[in-house]
């Protein structure tokens, strides 16, 4: 029948239409996620966009990442939004006058000329830089793309691994739901519940000028987002010990499996970049493997067959087992190092030195654990305030499947969980939902509380292939291409029907479509 989707016949035009979306959203130096709803540059969007753009214009893909990295702060953080000065202030909330980066962020080294937010987003950037390089190594070398981005990416990872290890277990914590990128995921309900919302009259939601209220986070969510961001800003965007004096210190910190898995995948990519630049890269691979072990130790729940978020300030004392309090991980590399150093080789040398120290700490941690287990204390550690797992099933808990060093049994279990009743891969769901299909908070249309998103499904497709699940990967790829096409490159879709929600002509949907077509 004429209306049956035929990927072979429509692949050519799908490619053109996806490229056209990216063309329309290009500003000259970067790509907006969508023209109406998101008129600035977003951090993890740009990484996904560059991954697709490399197939259309490797030069634009490099420029996309360079523009973002040009707004990096002195402490290494890459801001989640880089504001376009020609866009009116009321077009998006929170706007530059809310974040006040160049004044409030001065101590943390915010840029003086570019206006940015002060929080971060998932670190997909080193992975993107490596994939962009591979699309056209000749152009990349001619423009010294990797030597220029490597020190910045290394500083970014150092920021996350040192300043954001708030749980003390070697993983990075997010301090705001916007940082993890899945803004209103049910995973945040419990930790956000401890935050007093800012009064609704104190801000105006520009998002509701473009998106339907049923598809977006609620006003109550927004009140809490605003309160957390205001407090972080008023504390000078200081992290960890430096934040103790800040108004918002110690209230919201979550170790998220997707955020950390992307950091680890990017650490593997940094190793590949280091090798390309003439360094060994082995120390970075080793660190990525230790981080994978830390991720399993802190966030894997064998009984549920997936990863969960850890609410660092949540839970009570004396929790145990998988929902308990692992105090230190084998990867706890928390020495402070200067950021934004020049030269890839120097960065690699320092990283190796840091890794040796981490190695020694890992050995002493292992000895400590062994002693505890011999004395019968295993699983009932009471000394650490490092929180409790949050019992909500989010797609974030499947995304560690992108990790090459994931133990085989865990990868197999994750694939089984993805195909089970909660996520419906290859079964009831057309695309994998952002949240448990059977969960108490499931809503097929409301943003990150159920709808399927293209970036998370693209990551799952990659993970399935990595772990040899070629049949399932192929099925998911076809479903992604078909849904991107029929939904008009929607921002997100109903996971059962594929019906479009949010913005249309959404950049990462178009970009990842291009990547899947190659
Ligand atoms: C807040 C831009 C961003 C994405 C996030 C998505 C949404 C912003 C918003 O849009 O967040 O950062 O205004 O809702 O949740 O993942 O990066 O596309």
Tens of pLDDT, residue by residue over 81-113, are: 999 999 999 999 999 999 999 999 999 999 999
Residue 412 CA to ligand 1 centre (angstroms): 31
Tens of pLDDT, residue by residue over 267-286, are: 999 999 999 999 988 999 99
DSSP count for the chain of H helices, then E strands: 18, 10
Residue 516 has pLDDT above 60, yes or no: yes
Nearest CA to ligand 1 atom 10: 38
Q: Which helix (H) or strand (E) holds 316?
A: none
Cβ(384)–Cβ(191) below 8 Å = no
State the ipTM, two decimals.
0.99
Per-residue pLDDT at 315: 76
Residue 470 has pLDDT above 50, yes or no: yes
Which atom of ligand 1 lies at the shortest distance from residue 34's CA? 18
**If DSSP states are collapsed to H, E and C, what string results for 110-175?**
CCCCCCECCCCCCCCHHHHHHHHHHHCHHHHHHCCHHHHHHHHHHHHHHHHHHHCCCCCCCCCCEC
Residue 215 CA to ligand 1 centre (angstroms): 13
Residue 223 CA to ligand 1 centre (angstroms): 16
**SS3 category, 515:** helix
Per-residue pLDDT at 386: 81
Residue predicted with more confidence, 326 or 152: 152
C-beta 225 within 6 A of ligand 1: no
C-beta 453 within 6 A of ligand 1: no
Per-residue pLDDT at 246: 44
Residue 316 CA to ligand 1 centre (angstroms): 32
Mutation to probe ligand 1, out of 21, 25, 30, 33 (largest number of atoms < 8 A from CB): 33
* Rounded Cα gap, residues 314 and 167, in angstroms: 11
Residue 72 CA to ligand 1 centre (angstroms): 19
Q: Which helix (H) or strand (E) holds 416?
A: helix 408-419
Which atom of ligand 1 lies at the shortest distance from residue 81's CA? 12
Give, in order, the Cα–Cα distances in Å from 199 to each of 91, 113, 208, 235, 430: 21, 31, 17, 20, 39
Per-residue pLDDT band for 325 (boundaries 50, 70, 90) equals: very low
Per-residue pLDDT at 210: 86
Residue 62's nearest CA partner among 29, 85, 84 is: 29
Mean pLDDT confidence for 439-462: 98
Tens of pLDDT, residue by residue over 158-193, are: 999 999 999 999 999 999 999 999 999 999 999 999
Residue predicted with more confidence, 345 or 171: 171
For residue 369, what are its two tokens? 């654990």
Residue predicted with more confidence, 191 or 320: 191
Tens of pLDDT, residue by residue over 381-425, are: 333 458 999 999 999 999 999 999 999 999 999 999 999 999 999
Mean pLDDT confidence for 138-142: 98
Residue 414 CA to ligand 1 centre (angstroms): 26
Nearest CA to ligand 1 atom 5: 181
CB atoms closer than 10 angstroms to residue 486: 16
Burial class (CB in 10 A: 0-12, 13-18, 19+), 113: exposed
**Active-site residue list:** 183, 491
Residue 454 has pLDDT above 80, yes or no: yes
Task: Return mean pLDDT, the chain.
Answer: 87
Residue 40 has pLDDT above 70, yes or no: yes
Per-residue pLDDT at 348: 34
For residue 190, what are its two tokens? 């419990």
Nearest CA to ligand 1 atom 6: 181
The least confident of 5-14, 98-107, 488-497 is: 5-14
C-beta 207 within 6 A of ligand 1: yes
Residue 360 has pLDDT above 90, yes or no: no
DSSP 331: T
CB atoms closer than 10 angstroms to residue 334: 17
C-beta 232 within 6 A of ligand 1: no
pTM over 0.90: no
C-beta 183 within 6 A of ligand 1: yes
């Amino acid at each position: 029948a004429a209306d049956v989707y035929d990927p072979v016949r429509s692949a050519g035009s799908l490619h053109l239409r996806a490229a056209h979306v990216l063309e329309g959203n290009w500003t000259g130096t970067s790509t907006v996620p969508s023209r109406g709803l998101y008129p600035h540059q977003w951090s993890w969007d740009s990484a996904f966009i560059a991954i697709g753009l490399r197939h259309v214009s490797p030069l634009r893909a490099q420029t996309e990442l360079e523009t973002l990295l040009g707004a990096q702060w002195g402490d290494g953080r890459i801001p989640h939004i880089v504001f376009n000065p020609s866009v009116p202030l009321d077009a998006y909330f929170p706007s530059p006058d809310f974040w006040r980066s160049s004044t409030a962020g001065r101590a943390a080294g915010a840029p003086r000329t570019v206006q940015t937010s002060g929080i971060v987003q998932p670190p997909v950037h080193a992975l993107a830089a490596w994939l962009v390089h591979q699309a056209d190594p000749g152009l990349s070398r001619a423009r010294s793309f990797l030597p220029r981005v490597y020190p910045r990416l290394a500083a970014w990872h150092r920021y996350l691994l040192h300043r954001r290890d708030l749980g003390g277990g070697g993983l990075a914590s997010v301090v705001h739901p916007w940082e993890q990128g899945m803004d209103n995921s049910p995973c945040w309900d419990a930790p956000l519940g401890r935050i007093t919302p800012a009064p609704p009259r104190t801000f105006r939601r520009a998002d509701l000028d473009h998106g339907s209220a049923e598809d977006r986070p609620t006003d109550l969510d927004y009140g809490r987002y605003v309160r957390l961001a205001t407090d972080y800003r008023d504390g000078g965007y200081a992290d960890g010990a430096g934040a103790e004096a800040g108004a918002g210190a110690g209230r919201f910190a979550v170790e998220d499996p997707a955020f950390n898995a992307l950091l680890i995948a990017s650490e593997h990519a940094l190793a590949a970049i280091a090798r390309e630049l003439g360094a060994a890269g082995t120390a970075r691979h080793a660190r990525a493997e230790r981080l994978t072990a830390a991720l399993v130790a802190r966030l894997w729940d064998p009984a549920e067959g997936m990863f969960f978020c850890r609410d660092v300030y949540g839970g009570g004392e004396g929790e145990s087992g998988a929902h308990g309090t692992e105090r230190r991980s084998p990867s706890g590399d928390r020495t402070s190092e200067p950021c934004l150093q020049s030269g890839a080789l120097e960065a690699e040398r320092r990283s190796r030195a840091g890794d040796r120290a981490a190695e020694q700490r890992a050995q002493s941690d292992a000895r400590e654990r062994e002693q505890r287990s011999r004395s019968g204390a295993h699983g009932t550690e009471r000394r650490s305030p490092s929180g409790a797992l949050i019992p909500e099933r989010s797609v974030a808990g499947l995304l560690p499947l992108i990790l090459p060093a994931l133990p085989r049994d865990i990868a197999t279990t994750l694939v089984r969980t993805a195909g089970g009743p909660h996520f419906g891969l290859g079964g009831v769901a057309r695309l994998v939902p952002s949240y448990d299909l059977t969960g108490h908070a499931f809503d097929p249309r409301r943003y990150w509380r159920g709808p399927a998103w293209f970036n998370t499904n693209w990551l799952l497709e990659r993970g399935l292939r990595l772990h040899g699940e070629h049949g399932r990967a192929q099925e998911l790829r076809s479903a992604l291409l078909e849904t991107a096409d029929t939904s008009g490159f929607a921002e997100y879709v109903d996971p059962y029907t594929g019906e479009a929600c949010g913005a249309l002509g959404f950049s990462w949907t178009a970009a990842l479509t291009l990547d899947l077509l190659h």
